[in-house]
């Protein structure tokens, strides 16, 4: 059973930065990508970005490009989400997830990010 644990959330002012981490208890051969999602009250869950374990290719939703960066540490089964130039619209619960080739199959419990003005 794979467990994902997020950390690093908190309260930050507009324009500030936070780094989230997601650690997986184990990394299996079918875990191709690690991703970040977020959900604000009243909104649908939104894909933020993802990274491939092998090769490190990343992708991001347009609203965070240039501000957020995903990185990884394969040896520690950990991925990071560096968030800069934060906006109130970034306020949400952020979840990490692990994917097979076809779907997101493991999910963390989430960590709250609040950006205040």
pLDDT at residue 3 in the model? 95
Give the C-alpha separation, 72 to 91, whole Å.
23
Rounded CA-CA distance 105/22 in Å is 15
Give pLDDT, residue 28: 84
Q: Which pLDDT value is given to residue 29?
A: 81
Q: What is the pLDDT of residue 98?
A: 96
Q: What's residue 33's pLDDT? A: 95
Determine the 3-state secondary structure of 7 from DSSP: strand
- What pLDDT does residue 57 have? 97
Tens place of pLDDT per residue across the chain (117 aa): 799 999 999 999 999 999 999 999 988 888 889 999 999 999 999 999 999 999 999 999 999 999 999 999 999 999 999 999 999 999 999 999 999 888 999 999 999 999 998
């Amino acid at each position: 059973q794979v467990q994902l644990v997020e950390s690093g959330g908190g309260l930050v002012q507009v324009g500030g930065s936070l780094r989230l981490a997601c650690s997986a208890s184990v990394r299996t051969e079918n875990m191709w990508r690690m991703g970040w999602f977020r959900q604000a009250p009243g909104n649908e869950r939104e894909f933020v970005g993802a990274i491939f374990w092998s090769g490190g290719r990343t992708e991001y939703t347009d609203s965070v490009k240039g501000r957020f960066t995903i990185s990884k540490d394969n040896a520690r089964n950990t991925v990071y989400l560096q968030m800069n130039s934060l906006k109130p619209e970034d306020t949400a619960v952020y979840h990490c997830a692990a994917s097979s080739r076809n779907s997101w199959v493991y999910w963390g419990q989430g960590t709250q990010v609040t950006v205040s003005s």
